[in-house]
Amino acid sequence: MAITKETRALDAGPKKFGDAALENIIGQLLRYGVLASSLVVLAGGVVYLIRHGGQIPQYHQFKGEPDKMRKPVLMWEAVLRGEGRPLIQLGLLILIATPIARILFSIFGYLLEKDYLYAVLTVIVLLVIVLNF
């Protein structure tokens, strides 16, 4: 029986999850996260300008941020109604969530590689970021 490339590949067993694959996936995660954020912010900006582009700002009276810009449930309701400012806010939240998702993915990647030191250090980084919110 002749040994071909296919039989060698089958005999080699399952491939291990490597650094190059992890870096590639993380790069794609960051790229698509920033792209999605940009598109959502752009859509929110277009909606906002269509609806409010002709309004004159009134600076003589201070008005704080409405609840729909500070509370996630109200923000989602406003986004579903098609309001521009909450849509921009959602895009910014996606932008903030992108590196956090990268950190979470890195933790799982390091655990798959059995690189426990980097997994612990990455968990510490995630805790610092979460506690600073």
Distances in whole angstroms, Cα of residue 82 to Cα of each of 3, 44, 85: 62, 9, 9
The band of 9, judged by pLDDT with boundaries at 50, 70 and 90, is very low
* Of 1-5, 16-20, 69-73, 75-79, the least confident: 1-5
Distance CA 107, CA 45 (A): 35
Distance CA 79, CA 44 (A): 9
- Pinpoint the alpha helices (H) of 14-83: 19-52, 72-80
Distance CA 125, CA 114 (A): 18
Distance CA 115, CA 92 (A): 32
Rounded average pLDDT over 76-91: 91
Q: What is the model's pTM?
A: 0.74
pLDDT mean across residues, the chain: 85
Highest mean pLDDT among 5-19, 31-45, 63-77: 31-45
Rounded average pLDDT over 50-59: 83
117 pLDDT higher than 90: yes
CA angle 111, 22, 16 (to 5 degrees): 65
The band of 100, judged by pLDDT with boundaries at 50, 70 and 90, is very high
User: CB–CB of 40/79 below 8 Å?
Assistant: no
Q: Is 122 exposed, middle or buried, given 0-12, 13-18 or 19+ CB atoms closer than 10 A?
A: buried
**What is the structure's pLDDT at 38?**
96
The band of 5, judged by pLDDT with boundaries at 50, 70 and 90, is low
**What is the structure's pLDDT at 133?**
77
Rounded average pLDDT over 99-104: 92
Could you give the 3-state DSSP secondary structure of residue 54?
coil
**What is the structure's pLDDT at 13?**
45
